[in-house]
Structure 1
Amino acid sequence: MADLIHVAARLRALQNGRAVPIVSQRQVVIQPHARILTLLSMAGEDTSVHAAAFGGFGEPAQIHVIADPRSRDDQYALLRWLLPFFETYYAQCRADGTFPQIWVSSAGALGHLDTLADRLRFTDEPDIQRLGELWTYAGERSPIAGQQALMSASGALRLHYATGQQEAEDEHLAALLTWIEPPSGRDIFAAVAAAEGLPMSVKTDPRFDRNQLQPAVSDFHGAATPEAAVRHHGRIQQMLEGVIRPIYTATQRAIALLSAPRWQANPILDELADQEAREFARFMLARDDGHRLPYRDSAKAGAIKIAARERAVNNVEAGMLRYDHAAREKGVSTGTVLRAQLADVIVTHPRSRVYEYDLVLTSHQDGLHLRLGDVLCTLDGAALSLRIDEIERRGPFTWVTGRVAPGKSPGKNAAKRLSRGEVLDFGPGAPNWHDLGNVLAQMSTRMASTPWTHGEAPPPPARAPQAAPGNLRAAVEGLI
């Protein structure tokens, strides 16, 4: 059903000729001190940087272009130009107790930065290694649910708008912005087609490469005098500035749209920002202590990271269902949220000074994701935990009976104040970010001994098979 809602939004955008908002609340944290990083690589050189643009939100781009990134000295000179910007920015974030946020144009640019970070931290130049380490923080955080360190402008806009084109086409930032702010008096498809002609990731247009850039690079290498080389370098710089500036400007525009006052506050973002600040402080402390970032994780480190990612997914989903209106409604439509009307409150008195409260709920939802024994919590108001004891379908309604959590619980007091006919939303409990340390400690204990699948030791010998009994039925009956 949630997919149908998204399809309906895209159809509405196609009908109107412009993107339509799909949420009312902001979906990402926007740091006022965020930095925008735009990189261009040479065709066929995926781990190179031909041109770089860097700046803060609302600031003009500082651009550095080299003639040929295949020259190691020139490539390292560009990277050394970038290093002080990131050193200063990270140091300021540490001093302020917050976290750095880097914005790139698209998922392709995000992957390029992650690949560069992986490569640079294993070079033989200490300052280049340092830049790779700083970028690694953002790169390692990027696949984790709820991270706010490395942001894709196209990805962030897609969380807020639906367009009349395919989802894959939304990765082109200029086309996406055209749908959001279409030019007046012009056909939307013609405007989008024109926007798609602009490079918006890390690669330049192949025709531009073949007809303009490649001859200019060849002329640079064939220059007879230093003066001629400088002249050809200036020509290359002028060409690439014409490519990189629109990408940087489009990223700026995306942040401005997401910073508009039209988006309501989202309490889950405060929790995500606090968690990001803790992760950043932990990462930088490890660098201060001299811990190296490995090329490959050990079995133990890999298991711990997987456990952390799983917990992050659960926390983000729980927080979104609790605080985000659109996520709540999607949860209701898919059955992950129980929206039910209170039919009755049954009070029992099993023994002295002990009272039990059973809630009888009715819901018209189809496809509820409920099982006996599940524990659900109210998503609004006082905390009330409910263990599902009975599920029954009666005509168009699902009847659910659950017991309020036993013992001294604020839920019992809340149950006393409930009135018949009241509509309640139930879902997972509140996110618990501080419990992550306990989860990682448990995983560390379990992985104290490396399993044979990830070590040098051979697998343990299989147990010798037992002979089959002559009378299988008698043997089974003998177990009863």
Structure 2
Amino acid sequence: MTLITTLARLEAVSTGRAQPLTTVRHRHLTDHPLVLVPLTTAGEAGAPLGALVGTDRDAPRLLVVPQPRDRDLRFAFLAELADIVLPYIDAYADDVEAAERNETDPETGKRVKVEVELCADAPQLIVPGRAGIELVRLLGRSMRFRRTAEQDPETPYPAPPRVPLLGRWLTHYGERARVPGSSLLTALTDVLSRHWATGQSSLEDQHLGALLAWIDPPEGESGAEAALRAELLRDAQGQLVCPPAGPATDPAFDNKLLAPAIERYDRARTALAAAEDGVEADDRLGELTAAERHIHELVASRTRPTWDAVWHGLDLLRTLPEGPRAADRWTRDRWSFTGHRDRVLAGEPPQPRRDDAVTAANKLATREREQARLEAQEALDDPLVMAGRRLGGEAFAGEVTDVVMAYSEGKRAAPRPLVTVRTDDRPHLGERVKVYRSLGGKPQSAEFVGYETDGSAGVPDNDGGGDGGGGGGGGTLVVLRILDKMGRGKEPEPGSVPEKGDPVCFTLFEHEQRGGAKLPEPEDTPWTHGGPPGETDAAPRPDAVTEEDVL
């Protein structure tokens, strides 16, 4: 947590209202995201109870499992979910545009540019909170290996045809959600808490109702009062007025309302199965329909408040302009979506239960690289985020006070101008440390030469203040040597070197992340790291029983 975030939280406590942490929106939002508000059964992991899903805030689709322990009803729920989600995904799969991508030429081994298809946009899935993302991953893992009757006629409990395909897509979205900066699968509480600081803890921010109460409290009420009411207020039946944002349910709801309703449904099903004639069957069918309708009403009462809260949160996010580099991260999401679409169309098998060593290392390296890139891009897009990096000594801003042209030594002298910057910040600069500034969207690097004191490079005062011997005005004089992005000529190109009086901002962190060392192909990994592909999913076989194993 940066000092800016700490100060914002303190101010939120003082004012009773959440304080902005950013000036722009650092996550991409599509025009028509698919919102999913899931609900699960307590005590059984991954057993769905119901969901509200759709792209129209005024017309959501309600899906309910009247008896979550019934495997057939759960498959029917997943099939209905697939009938909603898969057409939404397919609508984006056919709209493509031409794009260039670097690939390795199999004959020469060199990197060449090839023209490929890239989906013009990608489907975006929004869930209320972080637990919703974990449920999406769990559902994907439980669905993608299901066998259908067409694949295996003898399989017990065959799944509907589209369920395994939905499992593959949910698995991909769940894995992509682990990449920092990705927006394919987004938890609304995480995005809101990234852009606003509340006066409560980060754990309390996972309650969507309480978080929205801080950001947009009712008229005449503070955020703390509204958040407390959202968390604790109950109606005459003892039920929460603002239910949890799923997928978990409130124990009072489970014990007082849901359990009796499911028990009534079970009795009606048993009675219908035992009916002896048509008249009795019609009566029992009416009882079963009424019991099922009652469960639908209960699930709707728990999911509809969260559904409305999700759309309210999206409205709040859309009031912020999108950051310039958010589109670049969304392009990488589009590449990810296009790649998985191509794998599905090519008939490749579903994702393995466990990644091989090379795939796991690549995923870890990607997440580390994207985390560093996200932090750098957010600071470059947002002066408020950059202020936090400046307070932490990772960047400094100031005004150019002098520019002296200098050249490198050697046969071909290249321009290496010395730029003096007056700054009030206290960057953590050391000898020959490299710093970077954004020049036309590209990073220009410079080298720290020293501090200017009494006309010579030296060390500033211990407090980092004073005029640094540079004349009138406070601050420290920092001398930098520009290293690149000045053209190939002997004289720098116009605009490539800051001029006297220009405001500048340099960072100690790199703007672009470098790729790591190339990993071997999966078939070249040693047996200690899983061996060749195809054996990673095989169950380990126990050693044969010998005489020494028997007493």
Does TM, normalized by the shorter one, top 0.5?
yes
Q: Select the residue among 307, 310, 317 that pairs with 2:368.
A: 310
User: Which has the higher mean CA deviation after the structures are superposed, 134-143 or 189-198?
Assistant: 189-198
Alignment partner of 1:110: what SS? Answer: helix
Alignment partner of 1:138: what SS? Answer: helix
Aligned mates of 2:256, 2:40 — CA distance in 1: 17
**Does the CA-based 8 Å contact 2:92-2:121 persist in structure 1?**
yes
Instruction: Give the aligned length.
Output: 447
Tell me what 2:478 maps to: 399
Tell me what 2:7 maps to: 8
Aligned mates of 2:346, 2:162 — CA distance in 1: 17
1:170-185 alignment, distance < 5 Å? 170-185=205-220
Aligned mates of 1:360, 1:94 — CA distance in 2: 52
Tell me what 2:230 maps to: 195
| Superposed displacement of residue 93, structure 1 | 1.2
Tell me what 2:337 maps to: 280
1:5-404 alignment, distance < 5 Å? 5-96=4-95, 97-124=120-147, 125=159, 126-186=161-221, 188-196=223-231, 197=240, 198-223=243-268, 224-225=271-272, 226-227=284-285, 228-260=287-319, 263-292=320-349, 293-349=351-407, 350=409, 354-366=414-426, 368-379=427-438, 385-391=444-450, 393-395=459-461, 396=464, 397=476, 399-404=478-483
TM-score normalised over the length of structure 1 = 0.85
**Does the CA-based 8 Å contact 2:66-2:295 persist in structure 1?**
yes
Counterpart AA for 1:317? E
**Does the CA-based 8 Å contact 1:172-1:200 persist in structure 2?**
yes
**Does the CA-based 8 Å contact 1:322-1:380 persist in structure 2?**
no
Alignment partner of 2:121: what SS? Answer: coil
| Superposed displacement of residue 421, structure 1 | 4.5
Tell me what 2:544 maps to: none
**Does the CA-based 8 Å contact 2:356-2:530 persist in structure 1?**
no
Change (3 A) 1:365 1:114: same
1:180-215, Cα deviation, whole Å (9 max, x unpaired):
222223464443222114221211110111112112
1:293-347, Cα deviation, whole Å (9 max, x unpaired):
1111000111121222222223222322222222222221212223244344333
Aligned mates of 1:363, 1:11 — CA distance in 2: 27
User: Which has the higher mean CA deviation after the structures are superposed, 156-165 or 319-328?
Assistant: 319-328
Change (3 A) 1:325 1:212: same
**Does the CA-based 8 Å contact 1:32-1:57 persist in structure 2?**
no
Aligned mates of 1:417, 1:298 — CA distance in 2: 48
Unmatched tracts of structure 2, length 5 or more: 96-119, 148-158, 232-239, 273-283, 452-458, 465-475, 533-551
1:20-64, Cα deviation, whole Å (9 max, x unpaired):
222221121110110101110000122111101111153421101
**Does the CA-based 8 Å contact 1:371-1:388 persist in structure 2?**
no
Counterpart AA for 2:382? D
Tell me what 2:106 maps to: none
Change (3 A) 1:412 1:48: farther
TM-score normalised over the length of structure 2 = 0.75
User: Which has the higher mean CA deviation after the structures are superposed, 340-349 or 312-321?
Assistant: 340-349
**Does the CA-based 8 Å contact 1:37-1:102 persist in structure 2?**
yes
- Tell me the percent identity: 25
Aligned mates of 2:180, 2:311 — CA distance in 1: 24
| Superposed displacement of residue 364, structure 1 | 3.7
Change (3 A) 1:375 1:449: farther
In proportion to residue count, which structure has more helix?
1
User: Which has the higher mean CA deviation after the structures are superposed, 167-176 or 114-123?
Assistant: 114-123
Aligned mates of 1:161, 1:384 — CA distance in 2: 29
Q: Does 1:449 align with 2:524?
A: yes
CA RMSD after TM alignment: 2.7
Counterpart AA for 2:27? V
**Does the CA-based 8 Å contact 1:66-1:233 persist in structure 2?**
no
